[in-house]
Amino acid sequence: MMKVGVIGLGAMGASMAMNLHLAGFLRAVWNRTRSRAQALSRETGVAMAESPAELAAGVDLVLTAVSCDSDLEEVINALLPGVRPGGAVADTSTVSAATARAMAAALKPKGAAFLDCPVSGGVEGVRNGRLAMMVGGEERVLEHVRPALATLATTIVHMGPSGSGQATKAVNQIMAAGINQAVTEALAFGESMGLDLTKVIDVVSQGAAANWYLSHRGKTMVAGCFEPGFKVALHHKDLAICRAMGGPPLPIVDLTLENYQRLIDRGYGAEDISALYRIKREQLGAG
């Protein structure tokens, strides 16, 4: 059976490690803040590596789940001395397509492969192993590691060469921004109309405007609970990546970047992205 190690045990990585463990794949974990790795190692009985290089030396597949481009560059550089020829790294973080291509190029001289494997489905999706995964890199490598990735995601689609997984994730993040804008604005409008928002969410969720975000975040946001979930600062980072890709005007991206920056400036960057409701309420004079 393939041996897998996980680097980055945050909201996403910790659940991924647990799912890999339950399926018998997990052999080692490493996290920058040691206490998180210690907790997971205690819970699962798998080894806590002393460094990314030590982890990479003992496994066939390294799975990474860190915050942003520079963090991924740091962990890939740190694991390079240990990576096995014939080994693979599957990165589930959301970073730019250019960074994904650079990481693939960095691993190539070691005889190791890199797959950009960003995911969608949130903390609920990762806990249940029901993510959607969009993969860039060599298809034969994906097919080799697919049994391990299948413990995390019910949908795994090969998109094309290195970077195309991340480009697909950018599409997803632009769409998520538009949905966040629509749901928060519509519910703040409903509040300003004096409607019972629980009833609004129940009935709208059964019609043509039904969507995952409304069903999973609607009731908590109208109750003023913005527990992450997906942090404002992380979605801001993703949208900045979309913006940096250039190309056509992206008005939804620009508006959401500006709104999120206001939330971050007010100290709400670690809240769930549904905290956008705070701004919409103010703009609509709700409450």
Q: Among all residues, which ones are annotated catalytic?
A: 169
Q: Structure tokens of 201?
A: 């969410």
Residue where the block lists tokens 């795994």: 156
Measured CA distances, 265 to 28, 102, 212, 262, 273 (Å): 38, 32, 28, 5, 14
Angle, in degrees to the nearest 10, between helices 34-44 and 11-22: 20
Nearer to ligand NAP by Cβ, of 60 and 238: the residue is 238
**Cα–Cα dist 150/134, whole Å:** 12
Nearer to ligand NAP by Cβ, of 200 and 232: the residue is 232
The least distance separating ligand NAP from the CB of residue 233, rounded to whole angstroms, comes to: 8
Beta-bridged to residue 47, according to DSSP, are 28
**Burial, 3: exposed, middle or buried (Cβ in 10 Å; 0-12, 13-18, 19+)?**
middle
The least distance separating ligand NAP from the CB of residue 143, rounded to whole angstroms, comes to: 23
The least distance separating ligand NAP from the CB of residue 98, rounded to whole angstroms, comes to: 15
Classify the C-alpha dihedral 152-14-120-55 as positive or negative.
negative
The least distance separating ligand NAP from the CB of residue 23, rounded to whole angstroms, comes to: 20
Measured CA distances, 175 to 31, 33, 77, 135, 252 (Å): 31, 33, 32, 18, 9
The least distance separating ligand NAP from the CB of residue 72, rounded to whole angstroms, comes to: 8
Nearer to ligand NAP by Cβ, of 33 and 206: the residue is 33
The least distance separating ligand NAP from the CB of residue 37, rounded to whole angstroms, comes to: 9
Nearer to ligand NAP by Cβ, of 65 and 88: the residue is 65
**Cα–Cα dist 166/189, whole Å:** 34
Q: Report the candidate in 67, 69, 65 with the shortest Cα–Cα distance to residue 52.
A: 65
Nearer to ligand NAP by Cβ, of 276 and 286: the residue is 276
Query: In the complex, which residue's CB is closest to ligand NAP?
Result: 10
Angle, in degrees to the nearest 10, between helices 212-222 and 197-204: 180
Binding site for ligand NAP (CB under 6 A): 8-13, 31-33, 36, 65-67, 71, 74-75, 93-94, 119-120, 122-123, 230, 234, 238
Nearer to ligand NAP by Cβ, of 124 and 196: the residue is 124
Residues 160/168, Cβ–Cβ less than 8 Å? no
Q: Structure tokens of 70?
A: 């520079």
